[in-house]
């Protein structure tokens, strides 16, 4: 495998990446709509602010 490699379906993987990105974008939009503004969910500082200050008293 190291020398010969493996076969992969590039078209399928490309479409899968597009599908996953579409789902991620939809989920992020839902989160931003719920919070009321956009933020960087990859930022621990911003995410901490949202979770522990903005949504602190929110109950499901």
Higher pLDDT, 25 or 58: 25
d(CA 47, CA 45): 6
Whether 34 maps to a domain, the answer reads yes
At 23-47, the pLDDT tens digits run 999 999 999 999 999 999 999 999 9
Tokens of 19: 């599908």
Q: Is 11 buried (19+), middle (13-18) or exposed (0-12) by CB count in 10 A?
A: exposed
**pTM, whole model, 2 decimals?**
0.75
Predicted confidence at residue 45, as pLDDT, reads 96
**Would you state the pLDDT for residue 58?**
79
Q: Tell me the average pLDDT of the chain.
A: 93
- Other beta carbons within 10 angstroms of residue 34's beta carbon come to 10
Q: Which of 26, 40, 23, 46 is nearest to 55 (CA)?
A: 46
Question: 4 lies in a domain?
Answer: no
Total domains in the fold of the chain:
1
Whether pLDDT at 51 is above 80: yes
Residue at 59 is within a domain: no
Task: Quote the domain boundaries for residue 23.
Answer: 10-54
């Amino acid at each position: 495998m190291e020398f010969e490699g493996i076969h992969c379906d590039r078209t399928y993987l490309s479409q899968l990446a597009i599908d996953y990105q579409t789902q991620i974008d939809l989920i992020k939009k839902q989160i931003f709509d719920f919070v009321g503004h956009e933020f960087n969910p990859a930022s621990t500082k911003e995410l901490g602010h949202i979770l522990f200050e903005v949504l602190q008293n929110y109950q499901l």
